[in-house]
């Protein structure tokens, strides 16, 4: 498997050596592409020794240099940019091609895994957030950054994810991390819509991105995956059986039908708690509309399947606007869950966003904080926690 590791000019560049070493130990053929700024932190000779290949610095090195990036792009199975500085993110987002690495990034058609590393002040800047959002929209994958001590004695989100975790994620993307082979995941995603009349409905702003990210990550790890989704614009993940529904009642029916074959259930959908008691068959005219709508509770899908849990591992989600951990822990107990993922949605946060911060609680009382990170990264870390429980 041919992998290119792009190293950009940040203090975390020295950690890229461990990424190169780890990928080679896992059977990858590794080439390293460095920016000029990266050479101020680590010499090309170091990466040449670690990769056993000449380091790529310029488009104009050697007689064949003018086509090297295209030839290598055809062979590359994965591009890992680690560390990715704020400058590198801006260039990748804008499509600037002023060195070997950025030109190569435009030529590849393989997955791109980006591991940002920068001062927390820079990571929180709106320009950086916009660039990350652009890259996510184009299909780039992110891992990190993490919360921790920085070289400048600051603390916050901006620290490079540990090299071993980056290597694990890279191998997962390459398809060699088949750690969920033999498991069947039932995942729910998106909102539900409860009709008021023929053209209006009750719903919420959920995009479905989190549930889809979990389904996609699970299938890469070898699991069979059934995804039951409410209305969502996210495309069906490859290799996943997707069942599209609209109402909470339809979602319940699909979940109950798929449950007997599932070994793991992840309920990430934002199911409407209420439906209209008597939806109008046609459009209610504004002039004649009643100002009162009677609501009735929708089926409690999570409560119902918790009674049928058996040996399955059951993971729920809790979207809260206050007392995040306390409310989530109460739901964890009431619904007989193994784990619950709690996220703060006050002010509309989390719904539709690409980056998320959550707290994962388990029945043993442990709390694990994930993010702020792209939802694909949160999905991968959640599956890691699920695998730990399966192995216990």
Residue among 337, 343, 80 at smallest CA distance from 210: 343
Provide the 8-state DSSP code for 56: B
φ/ψ of 192, rounded to 5, equals -115, 160
Tokens of 235: 């495309």
Provide the 8-state DSSP code for 264: E
Q: 370: exposed, middle or buried (C-beta count within 10 Å: 0-12, 13-18, 19+)?
A: buried
Residue located via tokens 């609209």: 246
To the query of whether residue 204 is one of the catalytic residues in this protein, the response is: yes
Cβ–Cβ under 8 Å, residues 81 and 115: yes
- The angle, 0 to 180 degrees and rounded to 10, between the axes of the packed helices 163-174 and 16-25 is 40
Tokens of 158: 């901006």
Residue 320 CA from chain centroid, whole number: 20
Cβ–Cβ under 8 Å, residues 229 and 242: yes
Beta strands in the chain (DSSP E): 2-7, 29-34, 78-84, 112-116, 141-142, 146-149, 155-159, 184-189, 194-195, 201-202, 224-229, 241-244, 264-267, 274-276, 295-297, 313-320, 339-344, 355-362, 367-374
Name the active-site residue from 2, 53, 87, 204: 204
Dihedral in degrees, nearest 10, Cα atoms 72, 74, 80, 84: 70
Distance CA 387, CA 381 (A): 10
Distance CA 144, CA 381 (A): 10
List, by residue number, the catalytic residues.
Answer: 204
């Amino acid at each position: 498997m041919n992998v290119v590791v792009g190293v950009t000019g940040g203090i975390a560049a020295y950690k890229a050596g461990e990424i190169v070493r780890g990928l080679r130990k896992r059977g990858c053929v590794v080439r390293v592409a460095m920016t000029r700024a990266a050479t101020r932190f680590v010499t090309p000779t170091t990466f040449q020794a670690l990769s056993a290949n000449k380091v790529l610095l310029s488009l104009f090195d050697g007689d064949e240099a003018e086509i090297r990036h295209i030839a290598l792009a055809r062979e590359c199975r994965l591009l890992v940019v680690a560390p990715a500085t704020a400058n590198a993110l801006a260039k990748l987002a804008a499509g600037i091609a002023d060195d070997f690495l950025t030109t190569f990034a435009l030529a590849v058609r393989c997955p791109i895994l980006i591991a940002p590393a920068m001062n927390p002040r820079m990571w929180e800047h709106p320009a950086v957030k916009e660039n990350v959002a652009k890259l996510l929209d184009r299909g780039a994958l992110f891992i990190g950054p993490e919360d921790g001590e920085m070289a400048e004695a600051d603390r916050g989100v901006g620290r490079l994810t540990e090299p071993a975790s980056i290597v694990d994620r890279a191998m997962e993307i390459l398809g060699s991390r088949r750690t969920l082979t033999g498991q069947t995941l039932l995942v729910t995603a998106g909102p539900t819509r409860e009709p008021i009349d023929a053209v209006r409905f009750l719903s919420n702003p959920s995009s479905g991105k989190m549930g889809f990210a979990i389904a996609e990550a699970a299938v890469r790890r070898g699991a069979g995956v059934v995804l039951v989704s409410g209305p969502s614009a996210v495309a069906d993940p490859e290799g996943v059986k997707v069942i599209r529904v609209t109402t909470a009642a339809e979602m319940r029916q699909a979940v109950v039908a798929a449950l007997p074959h599932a070994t793991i259930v992840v309920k990430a959908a934002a199911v409407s708690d209420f439906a209209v008691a008597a939806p109008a068959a046609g459009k209610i005219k504004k002039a004649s509309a009643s100002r009162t709508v009677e609501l009735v509770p929708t089926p409690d899908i999570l409560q119902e399947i918790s009674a049928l849990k058996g040996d399955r591992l059951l993971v729920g989600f809790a979207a809260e606007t206050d007392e995040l951990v306390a409310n989530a822990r109460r739901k964890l107990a009431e619904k007989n869950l193994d784990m619950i993922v709690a996220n703060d949605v006050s002010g509309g946060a989390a719904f539709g966003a690409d980056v998320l911060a959550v707290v994962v609680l388990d029945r043993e009382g442990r709390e694990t904080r994930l993010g702020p990170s792209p939802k694909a990264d949160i999905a991968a870390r959640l599956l890691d926690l699920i695998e730990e429980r399966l192995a216990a």
